[in-house]
Copies of this chain bind each other. A is one copy, B any other.
Amino acid sequence: MTETVDGIQSVVVERELACPPEKLWRALTQPHLIAEWLMQNDFAAVVGHRFNLLGDWGGVLDCEVLAVEPNRSLSYTWDFAHEDPAYALKSTVTFTLTPTPAGTRLRMEQSGFRPHQKQAFHGARAGWQAFFGKLEQVAARGD
């Protein structure tokens, strides 16, 4: 967790995975693989591409690709529109891949949680732990 002076918080998850950056990049950018560890989607690794992430329970996130550096970093918006400002979320997710002797260190930062959005913030902390667990399996399988 990081916190900036205006109180905007980030969720940060960092883990070393036993697969090379190229395999991890596939799992982060191929729609059918993203669907296995994150959510159904119409993602494409093209800056400016708008896409949706679809939760299993009917919810939808509005996203746009901000930056793509193959095998190294990926960034997209992760927004949720809601009339109640406690629930409306404007955030950015950034993945950074660093090769290591054993595989790849993956860092994910989701920034944009406002001080009153404690539930979304704590939910994201739990959610990303679960997403990372599944991502590791999908990336290691490498099909």
Contacts and interface: CB of A to CB of B under 8 A. Distances in A.
B124 A56 contact: yes
A83 B87 CA distance: 16
A108 interface: no
Interface residues on A, range: 20 to 34
A87 B55 CA distance: 10
A120 B56 CA distance: 7
A71 interface: no
Contacts of A123: 40, 54-58
Contacts of A46: none
Interface of A: 39-40, 52-61, 78, 80-84, 87, 89, 91, 119-120, 122-124, 126-127, 130
